[in-house]
Amino acid sequence: MRALVFDGELRLTDIPTPVLQQGQALLKMRRGGICNTDLELTRGYMGFSGVLGHEFVAEVVEGPSEWLGQRVVGEINIADGDCDMCRLGVPSQCRHRATVGINGHQGAFAEYMALTTRNLYAVPDEVSDDQAVFVEPLAAALQILEAVHVSPRDRVVVIGAGKLGLLSAQVLRLTGAEVQVVVRSDHALPLLNKWRLPALRADDLPVNQADVVVDCTGNAAGFAAALDLVKPRGTLVLKSTYADLPQANLTRVVVDEVRVIGSRCGPFAAALSLLRQGLIDTQAMIAMRYPFEQALSAFDRAFQPGTLKVLLDF
Ligand SMILES: [Zn+2]
């Protein structure tokens, strides 16, 4: 089968179709989405080698009869179900987990992928492939609400108007809170205007005013800016991994008693539900689509600054 492999260089190649193990289903890919994490992996993040990709919609073509023919999305953390974190009901923090297309498990940018049926979610007919391919990042955005109580009286600021930042802003405004998005360039302004989400200019930020600040930049400057924005006793949510080690005034965290919360993967069922209800605009976030055979061009496009979601059609 054709697969997009990274092993020091990114290339489309032929590899054996996966052989199913106990409890797995064979998924035939329909659509994939390129995430910033995929771009980071091709720069050496996690020392990953193998098939990339963790945002996908697929059809089950082999496996347990109850799944056959179903259109599905899949949780990316493969847990052992047995460690202390799994027993606490937190499989996404399993001590021995593998992660689809990121660590220890083949990714989705191939014609076929084997995945445990425990991780599958059926996609309702009303949710299109173009919407369903956003379930994984949308679930990650929803995870903010698992960790922070956002009151409808709160002032919330999202830093980073990229893919995850824009999904996070759309999720956060469902709480009724006032949500603003910090932009560094103009590319996101038409979308924010369309959604009637106010944009804040990076050089004109209200210092120490926000109840909740969500940093989706993944860079040290974003982290420092987020710390400047949050008010005393406010909450700072870190949503992106950092390529570097951010330096910031952590004394402010102590003196102003700022809560700092890390946040990663989230609830797939809730993400599917929001999409089915039409509460999240994903269509406007699609920058470009490419046939899978042109995946290398798709990655080139995704690397261009300010590019929103690039999709792969299988
Ligand atoms: Zn575990």
As given in the structure block, the two tokens for residue 197 are 């989400």
pTM: predicted TM-score of the whole model, two decimal places: 0.95
Q: Give the closest residue to 113 by CA, choosing from 139, 65, 76, 66.
A: 76
Kindly state the average pLDDT of the residues 142-170: 96
Give the confidence band of 29 by pLDDT, cuts at 50, 70, 90: very high
Other beta carbons within 10 angstroms of residue 115's beta carbon come to 27
pLDDT digits (tens, 9 = 90+) for 106-137: 999 999 999 999 999 999 999 999 999 999 99
First to last CA, the chain: 12
Tell me the pLDDT tens digit for each residue of 225-264.
999 999 999 999 999 887 777 788 899 999 999 999 999 9
Centroid of ligand 1 to alpha carbon of 75 (angstroms): 15
Instruction: Answer yes or no: are the C-beta atoms of 189 and 212 closer than 8 Å.
Output: no
Mean local confidence (pLDDT), 138-154: 96
Answer yes or no: are the C-beta atoms of 235 and 212 closer than 8 Å. Answer: yes
Query: From the CA of 96, how far away is ligand 1's center (Å)?
Result: 6
The percent of residues in the chain predicted with pLDDT above 70, rounded, is 100
Q: What is the DSSP string of 50-91?
A: EE---EEEEEEEES-TTTTT-EEEE-SEE--S-SHHHHTT-G
Residue 78 has pLDDT above 90, yes or no: yes
Q: What percent of the chain shows pLDDT beyond 90?
A: 89
Residues 6+ apart with CB under 8 A from 216: 158, 159, 160, 162, 164, 165, 168, 222, 239, 240
> What is the pLDDT confidence band of residue 186, given thresholds at 50, 70 and 90?
confident
Residue 46's pLDDT is 84
Q: How far is the CA of 85 from the centre of ligand 1 (A)?
A: 6
Q: Name, in order, each residue with C-beta under 8 angstroms of 269's C-beta and a sequence gap of 6 or more.
A: 121
Instruction: Quick: pLDDT tens for 271-298.
Output: 999 999 999 999 999 999 999 999 999 9
Return d(Cα 85, Cα 55) in angstroms, integer.
Answer: 24
Average pLDDT over residues 28-56: 94
> What is residue 243's predicted lDDT score, i.e. its pLDDT?
72
**98 C-alpha vs ligand 1 centroid, how far in Å?**
10
The alpha carbon of 7 and the centre of ligand 1 are apart by a number of angstroms equal to: 28
Give yes or no for residue 86 having a pLDDT over 90. Answer: yes
Question: If you measure from the C-alpha of residue 217 to the centroid of ligand 1, how many angstroms do you get, rounded to a whole number?
Answer: 30
CA of 186 to the centre of ligand 1 (A): 43
How far does residue 257's CA lie from ligand 1's centre (Å)? Answer: 33
Q: How far is the CA of 140 from the centre of ligand 1 (A)?
A: 20
| pLDDT one-digit tens code per residue, 204-215 | 888 999 999 999
Residue 211 in 3-state DSSP?
Answer: strand
Q: Are strands 199-201 and 178-183 parallel, antiparallel or unpaired?
A: parallel
What structural domains and CATH numbers belong to the chain? Answer: 2-134+282-313 (3.90.180.10), 140-262 (3.40.50.720)
* Whole-number average pLDDT of the chain: 95
Distance 220 CA to ligand 1 centre (A): 31
Residue 64's pLDDT is: 96
Cα–Cα distances (Å) from 94 to 76, 77, 80, 97, 264, in that order, read 12, 8, 7, 5, 13
What is residue 233's predicted lDDT score, i.e. its pLDDT?
97
**Is the distance from CB of 301 to CB of 290 less than 8 angstroms?**
yes
Sign of CA dihedral 224, 225, 231, 234: negative
